[in-house]
Homo-oligomer: A and B are copies of this chain.
Amino acid sequence: MSHNAELISVGTELLLGNILNTDARFLSRELSKLGMNVYYQTVVGDNPERLRRAVDIAKGRADIIITTGGLGPTCDDLTKQTLAAAFGKKLVFHEESAERIRDYFEQNLHGAPMPENNLQQAMFPDGCVILPNDWGTAPGCIFEADGCHVVMLPGPPRECEPMFCAHVVPYLQKLSGETIRSRTLKLFGMGESAVEARLRDRMNALTNPTLAPYAKTGEVELRITAKAESDAEADALIAPVEEEVRAIFGDLIYGADVDSLEEVVLAALKEKGLTLSCAESCTGGLIAKRLTDLPGASAAFEGGAVTYWSEVKRGLLGVPQTLLDEKGAVSEEVARAMAEGARTVFGSDLAVSATGVAGPDSDERGNPVGLVYVALATPEGTFCRELHLGQSRDRVRTTAAHHAFDMTRRYLAGLPSELKV
């Protein structure tokens, strides 16, 4: 039987935009792994009438309702009262939970006396299963009524997430007869609409698995999602579609179930025991920053030079003054000299560089915003791409860094340096 879950996030701080709804993202992802459909997420404030209306709507369209937030000790924490009323249940005092809450205060807030209103957290809908909270004070609970499974979790992610994994996943697994699996192929070098145009007929024809593209800045994700009775069966549905997609896009696909180009580059560098450095002008540190976002980057990434000024390109990387004078800082020749300079200065096996006009204004030679040269220096020579990346400073920088990683990836995989689209 297929289940439809609805998430109701309770908290005025969400409606004021003070915090991001990370709980909804976490729960949606986990539910999808469990094969549960999530058709709606609703966010509502700490207001019992409006929460009640949201619950009544959810009852009519979902058979699993998961709330987050509003379980705390303050007077605007009204989730349990409201949900109990919506399903015709009374609240009863739970002595064991009261004990746990008192213990938590003693252990974690040495000496501070427990405010009595914390005991409100020990009131529960009659007949529910109580979910102990080992990460804070507010316990959660689950009850079944009117054909609905109702789960209440605290709002803080550091409590909500482990409680979901520890107590709710086993409960939901028993409910579910089927599994959903998805596989995400990442593609660099073709726009979303071109990708979609090539796949449209196939996408429309597919129902299980489904195939859908998602655009990221300068990249496209292609997700294949299958429902089946077992993981193995779902994977068997996915495999031929993945093969088909790979046959269409070839080496534009840089990975499956990976986060980013830099992740693929770092893994390939480590595998081959090679090191990388970088020389950045228009990207201004972004290439280095993205590599060092990854834990363990130091195994392959030696360092980089951010050479924003021409003097620094010359002084730090040895880019010849004559080149800078004759060709300008934004030129193929300087991009190559920067990458080669970095390779020498850092003594790394490979070095990437980027020089261009990120905007908002064109440079003093009249080069347009968006013109970028990206180069890769290797023992087999230096490769360079000339790029035209549009008007947005952010997009120019992000996409230029993508290209630097893509050139490195292609080199490490033995693919031709140029993208053939």
| Nearest chain B CB to A224 CB, angstrom units | 13
- A35 at interface by CB-CB < 8 Å: no
Chain A interface residue bracket vs B:
35 or more
Question: Which one, B50, B109, B196, B315, contacts A117 given CB within 8 A?
Answer: B196
Distance between Cα atoms of A11 and B397 in the complex (Å) = 27
Question: Which one, B158, B213, B312, B389, contacts A217 given CB within 8 A?
Answer: B158
Q: Please, which residue of chain B has its CB at the minimum distance from the CB of A287? A: B285
Among residues 87 to 120 in chain A, which have CB atoms less than 8 Å away from a CB atom of chain B? 107-110, 112, 115, 117-118
> A192 to chain B: which residues have CB within 8 Å?
72-74
B21 & A24 in contact (Cβ 8 Å cutoff)? yes
A305 & B308 in contact (Cβ 8 Å cutoff)? no
Number of copies: 2
A193 & B392 in contact (Cβ 8 Å cutoff)? no
B308 & A74 in contact (Cβ 8 Å cutoff)? no
> A30 to chain B: which residues have CB within 8 Å?
17
Query: Of A166-174, A197-205, A377-385, which binds chain B?
Result: A197-205
A27 & B17 in contact (Cβ 8 Å cutoff)? yes
Q: Please, which residue of chain B has its CB at the minimum distance from the CB of A210? A: B12
Give 11 A-B pairs besides A21-B41, A42-B43, A118-B193 with Cβ atoms closer than 8 angstroms.
A15-B39, A17-B29, A17-B30, A21-B24, A72-B193, A75-B196, A108-B370, A108-B390, A110-B388, A280-B288, A316-B316
- Write the residues of chain A forming the contact surface with B, with a CB cutoff of 8 angstroms: 12-22, 24-32, 38-45, 47, 50, 53-54, 57, 61, 72-76, 107-110, 112, 115, 117-118, 135, 156, 158, 182, 191-194, 196-197, 200, 203-204, 212-215, 217, 221, 223, 278, 280, 283-293, 295, 297-298, 301-309, 311-312, 315-316, 345-347, 358-360, 370, 388-395, 397, 421
